[in-house]
């Protein structure tokens, strides 16, 4: 496993070792002790998986409010995504700043999105499947979000967002300014 940090403290891009042979490949996709020692000392309690049939699907920006904040370890099982984490930690010097990475099933890259970040992705291929481990269980009352296209965040999506496939919920998410009381 190799990993790199961003210019925002917290997130990490992880590149598992892919061992190829004439059959295909093998990789150790997750190792608890390695993750705790190198990335963050957390435990995961739930695995999620989603399928997005259309290229240009955007899911997010989502997060859960305290005490159900979630860290998310995200990877692609099929296809590829542009994955984004936005710092929404109160008092953070990088509040409202974002990091992004392209995650592909082919290379198995993973993005670590710590608790305190809003998360979203857009799909870059049809029938893209995303798998992510989370550090707190789902709590509908704590489910929250922000507008993926908020100019105050300024995410540079690698797709035409005017054509994005969105849930009704994500069409109506509030702006970042709604967090600044
Ligand atoms: C997240 C979640 C959702 N659900 C139910 C709630 C809805 O009935 C249905 C779809 O939920 P939602 O529209 O929030 O799913 P996505 O739009 O894929 O959002 C997810 O993907 C973005 C990128 C995220 O970062 C969030 O973790 C997550 O909200 O699954 C559950 O039953 N358990 C869960 O853990």
Which structural domain, as residue segments, surrounds residue 101? 2-180
User: What CATH number does the domain containing 122 carry?
Assistant: 2.60.120.10
**Neighbour order of strands in the sheet with 98-104:** 98-104, 80-87, 117-123, 58-64, 143-145
Ligand 1 center to residue 50 CA distance, Å? 8
Q: What residues line ligand 1, using a CB cutoff of 6 Å?
A: 48, 50, 59-60, 62, 72, 119-121, 138, 167, 169
Q: Residue 34: which pLDDT band, with cuts at 50, 70 and 90?
A: very high
Is residue 118 a contact partner of residue 81, using CB atoms and an 8 Å limit?
no
> Tell me: the pLDDT tens digits for 122-152?
999 999 999 999 999 999 999 999 999 999 9
Q: Both tokens of residue 68?
A: 């159900």
Q: Please, what is the average pLDDT of the chain?
A: 97
> Tell me: the pLDDT tens digits for 85-125?
999 999 999 999 999 999 999 999 999 999 999 999 999 99
Kindly report the protein residue whose alpha carbon is nearest to atom 28 of ligand 1: 62
Ligand 1 center to residue 27 CA distance, Å? 27
The CA distance from 123 to 76, in Å, is 10
The distance from CA 143 to its chain's CA centroid, rounded to whole angstroms, is 15
Terminal C-alpha separation, the chain: 41
How many folded domains does the chain comprise? 1
Strand 143-145 and strand 80-87: pairing? unpaired
* DSSP SS3 for 179: helix
Read off the DSSP letter of residue 174. Answer: P
Decide: residue 104, CB within 10 A, 0-12 exposed, 13-18 middle, 19+ buried.
middle
């Amino acid at each position: 496993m190799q990993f790199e940090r961003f210019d925002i403290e917290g997130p990490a891009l992880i590149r598992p070792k892919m061992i190829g042979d004439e059959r295909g490949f093998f990789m150790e996709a997750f190792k608890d002790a390695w993750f705790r020692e190198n990335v963050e000392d957390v435990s995961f309690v739930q695995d999620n998986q989603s399928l997005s049939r259309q290229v240009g699907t955007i899911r997010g920006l989502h997060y859960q409010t305290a005490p159900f904040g979630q860290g998310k370890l995200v990877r692609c099982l099929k296809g590829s995504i542009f994955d984004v984490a936005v710092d929404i930690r109160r008092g953070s010097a990088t509040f409202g700043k974002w990091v992004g990475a392209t995650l592909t099933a082919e290379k198995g890259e993973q993005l670590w999105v710590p608790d305190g970040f809003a998360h979203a992705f857009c799909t870059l291929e049809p029938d893209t499947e995303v798998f992510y481990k989370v550090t707190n269980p789902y709590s509908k009352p704590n489910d929250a979000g922000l507008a993926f296209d908020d100019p105050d965040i300024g995410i540079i999506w690698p797709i035409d967002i005017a054509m994005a496939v969105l849930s009704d919920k994500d069409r109506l998410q509030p702006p970042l300014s709604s967090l600044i009381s």
